Structure 1
Amino acid sequence: MTEPAADSRKLRQQIANLIAASIRDGRWATGERLPSERDLADDHRVSRPTIREAMIILEARGLVQARHGAGVYVTDAPRPEVSAPQLEVSAFELVEARRLVEGDACALAAAVMTDAQLDELTVILHDMAEEHDFGALADLADRRFHVAIAKASRNGVLVAMVENLWDLRYQPTRRDLLERAGRMRAQPLVNDHQEILDALKARDPTAARGAMREHLGRVIENLMAVAEADALQDARARIQARRSEVARRADV
């Protein structure tokens, strides 16, 4: 059950489309739990990581929702499918744009969000704390948290912008860099989000904007650390290659 790296993105999109078609054809009703990851992998003859990636795509489309400890369920409010342009942007540019857009969305949400929306964020944060790693379900909870804040702003343009920025995250190279940056964070992901939630609960737009920008600013710092580590590794490899060449020449 191997999948060539060059075809992995196309494959997970295909699997997501097949599962989406089954949902729309009524194979699973709204609120019904999807089969287990293992069963779906066997049904579609793909690996379990491919199924996890397909679930992320389906949640981004609004067709399913992951519930901690309970599996993945069909939702009742799928978003219209719109093909986003495949922009060539770096992971740094992506997070920088998120810091600008989501900072202001968070400030606006702090001024107008309801108690029910705050309760929803609390539940999502609990899911994130339970996962406390950078696996598929934790990633879904992270996205749900940020999109829920955008929705609480009651500005449809901001919601679309935040969702599109998150969709750009799933390009393989950017995703790999962001996951590596995530492993370098000094404090658990849930701590950053708790600070954001506290500012929202205080109904303080300035504090909410600051907490969101500080959170994403730390992501940028971690990306810079990853880039620095990669540059050092490349430099060491070049020096070692040069040393080997010099040694070979010295033996002539």
Structure 2
Amino acid sequence: MSPAEPFPLYFPGDARRPFGSEAATRRFARVAQLEEGGRVLDLGCGPSEMGGVVLAQEFGCSVVVADSDESVLSLLRARVRSLALDGRVEVRRVDLSRPAFREGEFDAILCQGRVLMSLPDALSTLRPLLSRHGRLGVTYPVRVGRVTPRAVLEFWERRLGAPLLLPRELLLHLSQAGFEPEAVESLQDAELDALYRELEPHLLQVPAELATWLREEMALHRESGKATASYAFAVGRRREPGEKPPPARNRG
């Protein structure tokens, strides 16, 4: 097996991202029970970033939008100034693999549309930065449908350095890493088709070696004719050691 591509997985900075819509941000905010004054880290933001803006404008959150690319951050600083959000949105450059923040600093961390680290690394790195009962929202590839072609499974194992998970297995990993799983959603066929259709022109503008993995990913999707691998967005609440599980829901 060839080594996995270094994280974060390459994605053109100005292209549309999975779960990058304002509606997806609002869904996260509702699941995370964000309130005015809540402190949120929006990690791995893009130049057209709106997640942090939505959280600041509509939910009254204090947001740190962070990335490693200074050109992206310059555009974000200009947008924050134009919207007069300087006091509510802070733009900061960080090492995406080791973001330097205080333990318990954030009520929520949002990784929207970017796969910044392997799943185990993301959960272990970001959990300490959350306050008690803080929420984490992460994007990660999953397998969907009844049958996943071997070529798709092999591609993603090469890319991630680990087997491709089902959405329920993604939630299980959250649980094992000290989170109470609360929600998961994945892109459906039409959404994935639209994502790749809008992504393709951006790949023509970057060196071919940077786009190699994405081109293979898109080709495998189109060969199958439907989504057999997709992107999921999962939300988990930080669970404390010894915390009792939530009561079972009454289905009667």
TM-score, with structure 1 as normaliser: 0.29
- The structure whose residues are more often strand, as a share, is 2
Higher relative contact order structure (alpha carbons within 8 Å, sequence separation ≥ 6):
2
- The structure whose residues are more often helix, as a share, is 1
TM-score, with structure 2 as normaliser: 0.29
Greater CA radius of gyration, 1 or 2?
A: 1
